[in-house]
């Protein structure tokens, strides 16, 4: 028996096995790298999870001075994982069913007209505006260092929508900047340029009292020298809004209903006692 020959074969098999394993690992890593950052199209509108009391839809042509709710005739889609994992953006409509993956920013259409993409959040019921906050990212600014947004990048605008699609408030970049709070720790998300926008603070900056809103639109500003195509920002998450406190009349109706129910229960108990 040639032991040395068998040993050489074993070593050769081990090397082949090792190379094969490395190939498989490299292949899996390549597949993972190609799929981890792939943009996911979520549709024109979607609901994030079962616990959310809102839905998200994509809009185009937002101009808070002229077309605050966006323009009809487009078919944008909400996307996820554009530039950053677990973030939401907009894939805007190029026509003929073609989409361009993007975030919240400015782009120039085929005719050279500047358009703004946006995300609209619609709550299931009216909520208190001051109860809402959102997380956004990628303005390319640093807390404590930059004095304002970078107009060469992108600047946000916020539109608060009241009942029946009425305009409750409009916030330009100036009203939004001081309402930003840097987020230094966020599970499963890169930080360093992540910000919380507190709507209560925005209302204070606008000198507007709190009130009920049905939703809001986040988009990109185009009134302060910003140019397409901008490097967009992204939406990370939206807080569930808190329903406004019912009016006194509503309380009275509720108390009356409770009173009727209590009387009915007492009558039922009395009739059962008489029968027994």
Q: What is the pLDDT of residue 234?
A: 97
pLDDT band at 189 (very low <50, low <70, confident <90, very high): low
Task: Write the burial class of residue 256 (CB in 10 Å: 0-12 exposed, 13-18 middle, 19+ buried).
Answer: exposed
d(CA 202, CA 195): 14
DSSP annotation of 53: S
Contact 182, 97 (CB under 8 A): no
Residue where the block lists tokens 């190609």: 34
Q: 194, 196, 237, 231: which is closest to 56 by C-alpha?
A: 237
d(CA 22, CA 110): 48
Does pLDDT of 43 surpass 90?
A: yes
pTM: 0.75
Q: What is the pLDDT of residue 20?
A: 39
Q: What is the pLDDT of residues 3-29, one digit of tens each?
A: 444 445 444 444 444 433 333 333 333
d(CA 215, CA 68): 13
d(CA 233, CA 193): 10
Read off the pLDDT of each residue in 88-100 and give the average, rounded to a whole number: 90
Does pLDDT of 76 surpass 80?
A: yes
Residues in CB range of 134: below 8 A, 6 or more apart: 196, 197, 218, 235, 236, 237, 238, 239
Contact 139, 154 (CB under 8 A): yes
Q: Long-range contact list for 66-72, CB < 8 A, 24+ apart?
A: 68/159, 68/167, 68/170, 68/217, 69/120, 69/159, 69/161, 69/165, 69/217, 70/118, 70/120, 70/217, 70/219
d(CA 118, CA 74): 12
Q: Which residue has the higher pLDDT, 150 or 261?
A: 150
């Amino acid at each position: 028996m040639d032991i040395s020959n068998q040993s050489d074969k074993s070593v050769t098999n081990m090397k082949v096995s090792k190379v094969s394993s490395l190939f498989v690992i490299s292949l899996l890593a390549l597949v993972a790298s190609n799929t981890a950052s792939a943009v996911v199209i979520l549709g024109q509108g979607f609901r994030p999870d079962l616990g959310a009391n809102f839905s998200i839809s994509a809009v185009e042509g937002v101009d808070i001075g002229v077309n605050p709710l966006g323009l009809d005739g487009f078919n944008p889609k909400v996307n996820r994982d554009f530039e950053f994992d677990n973030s939401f953006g907009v894939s805007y409509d190029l026509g003929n069913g073609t989409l361009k993956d993007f975030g919240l920013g400015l782009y120039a259409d085929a005719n050279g007209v500047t358009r703004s993409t946006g995300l609209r959040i619609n709550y299931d019921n009216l909520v208190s505006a001051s109860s809402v906050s959102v997380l956004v990212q990628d303005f390319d600014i640093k807390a404590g260092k930059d004095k304002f947004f970078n107009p060469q990048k992108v600047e946000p605008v916020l539109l608060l929508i009241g009942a029946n699609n009425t305009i409750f408030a409009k916030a330009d970049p100036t009203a939004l900047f001081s309402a930003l709070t840097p987020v230094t720790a966020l599970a499963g998300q890169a930080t360093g340029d992540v910000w919380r926008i507190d709507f209560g603070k925005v209302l204070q900056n606008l000198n507007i009292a709190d009130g009920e809103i049905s939703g809001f639109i986040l988009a990109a500003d185009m009134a302060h020298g910003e140019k397409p195509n901008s490097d967009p920002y992204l939406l990370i998450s939206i807080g569930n809004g808190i329903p406004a406190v019912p009016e006194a009349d509503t309380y009275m109706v509720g108390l009356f209903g409770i009173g009727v129910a209590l009387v009915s229960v007492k009558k039922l108990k009395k009739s059962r006692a008489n029968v027994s």
